[in-house]
Structure 1
């Protein structure tokens, strides 16, 4: 007897008959030693799913992209009798928090719920706290926010090896578990080799505790709102081969030691404050000049400042104005002499202009 069996989509067409369903159900119950069953991307009726209970040795079950969802999802509770089930794939099935029976998750070591409709209801996600043997968890591309992820998932998750919560709505919050910055409890997951928190709304700093995840190979924190510097302790991750913190608000010098020498600028792009290798932006101030001295030399003097320049213009204007106007207001003699001079100037200008026009007329 083989340990795996794949059903192709042609087995269940849109015109399948009750007789064909009967043959399929009868065949399942004869395969008591079957360990892997792959039903991905097949049109299954809800009355077929309960027949999988005839497979007591089943360890891995693929049920992603099953259609129609409305017939398949309600029948999931019939799978609770699979005591040996360890890996379950339910991707892309329009599953929400109320559709997954907690009893189905009890013994799992690998669970894929990506591309579904999981949101804020704690019913199903709280059941994850009881999964002591869980090693792989994929919650990618759902509608989870910071209130949806129970902290016990990290407290009791010492065996967790791969965690993907990317493309959700995890964000900064002052009251829920993801508060201020990425939870430092993640550093306690010493068995973790892959962590993906990209495409969320996480703020705060990258915790220094990440340096304790000794087995980590892939770390993706890109497309968030992280601030501060990349902790230099992170270079202690000697097995890391994929690292991405692009498109955040990070600043400071990039740690460029050990395995981190192998990452190119694509791992850091979109962070205007980062500097150093492998970027082409040098960190300032230069090492040969003390920061305090450099700051004092760059500071403009009083005579060079814009405020001093515009203040001088304003004072000159006010003084000049009142030097001319004040005598005219105080003395009548000054006013008469002033206007006599003005009249004389006007008269002279008019005569000059009139003579100029006469000469032009004679020339023409």
Structure 2
């Protein structure tokens, strides 16, 4: 661990490490809070046995080199509070042992990686404060060991009700705030383990599921969604009168109570009388 050891220095480039062939048994490389500048070098991918690569709280720029995804033994990649950008490559699925992917407060853009669902050991996925866009892929629900899923402050959208959150049975924290998610709050997101939930400033609507621990959260959790209603929010849900009327009509039809207008009955009788005459 070399945390804080190279304050303000530049990250050694690939040219500087052209003959790099050492540290092949290195499992942990931590340069936390070193204020390092420059880009993430490709030579890091030559550390074949690296399991933890910690470069958070630096000033590293540019995209993540795709060769990094060849370090198949990587289990933890904490990279928050840098200036990394570009898209997150689908090659990330090569890191089959990955348990922690923390990209908090960078400048990543593009769509959420479509194949993250293949990372079955993933436990902590943090994308807060980036520029990700588009809908969440349903395959993300295949990450059934997720403990924390943090997606706040991006440009994500789509109907979250269509995602089967019930599969994330280990989830304790779900952060969706400040995106453009639509749909209703899925009741299946509620289970005993969920301790933190934040849907602040989205476009969610409808009643908050009752009989769950969602009612125990502070109302601020749901602020910025004017079409949401029900506890813990102060605004009550108003029954849909049109829907109630339709339900009543359907019920009447189901019971065989069909009511014909009187003029139809009169016309039938007149026709019978005239025809008989």
Give the TM interval when normalised to the shorter protein.
0.7 to 0.9
Structure that is richer in helix per residue:
1
Q: Does 1:264 align with 2:218?
A: yes
- Residue matched to 2:265: none
TM-aligned CA distance change 1:256 to 1:102, over 3 Å: same
Unmatched segments (≥5 aa) in structure 1: 1-36, 173-177, 294-364
Residue 128 of structure 1: SS of its match in structure 2?
helix
Q: CA RMSD in A?
A: 3.2
Residue 156 of structure 2: SS of its match in structure 1?
coil
The match for 1:119 among 82, 85, 96 is: 85
1:196 Cα offset (Å): 0.6
1:243 Cα offset (Å): 0.6
- Residue matched to 1:275: 229
The match for 1:143 among 97, 104, 107 is: 107
Residue 274 of structure 1: SS of its match in structure 2?
strand
1:52–1:79 CA contact under 8 A, matched in 2? no
1:54 Cα offset (Å): 5.5
- Residue matched to 2:158: 204
- Residue matched to 2:32: 64
CA deviations over 1:236-294 (Å, ceiling 9, x no partner): x321110111111111111132332321212111111111111111111299x98339x
2:87–2:108 CA contact under 8 A, matched in 1? no
Bigger Cα Rg: 1
The match for 1:214 among 154, 158, 169 is: 169
Q: Does 1:292 align with 2:245?
A: yes
TM value normalised by structure 1: 0.58
- Residue matched to 1:110: 76
Question: In the TM superposition, what are the counterparts of 1:59-208 in structure 2 within 5 Å?
Answer: 59-70=27-38, 73=39, 76-91=41-56, 92-97=58-63, 101-102=67-68, 105-120=71-86, 125-147=89-111, 149-154=112-117, 156-172=118-134, 178=135, 182-206=136-160, 207-208=162-163
2:107–2:131 CA contact under 8 A, matched in 1? yes
Unmatched segments (≥5 aa) in structure 2: 247-277
Pairs aligned (count) = 240
Moved more, 128-137 or 58-67: 58-67
CA deviations over 1:102-158 (Å, ceiling 9, x no partner): 267432100022233333356xx34412100001001222222234x432222x111
Structure that is richer in strand per residue:
2
1:186–1:210 CA contact under 8 A, matched in 2? no
1:95 Cα offset (Å): 2.6
2:171–2:194 CA contact under 8 A, matched in 1? yes
Q: Matches of 2:243 and 2:116 in 1, distance apart?
A: 47
Q: Larger relative contact order (C-alpha < 8 A, sep ≥ 6)?
A: 2
Q: Matches of 1:103 and 1:56 in 2, distance apart?
A: 17
Q: Matches of 2:12 and 2:74 in 1, distance apart?
A: 24
1:97–1:117 CA contact under 8 A, matched in 2? no
TM-aligned CA distance change 1:100 to 1:281, over 3 Å: same
1:222 Cα offset (Å): 0.6
Q: Matches of 1:47 and 1:184 in 2, distance apart?
A: 39
TM-aligned CA distance change 1:255 to 1:68, over 3 Å: closer
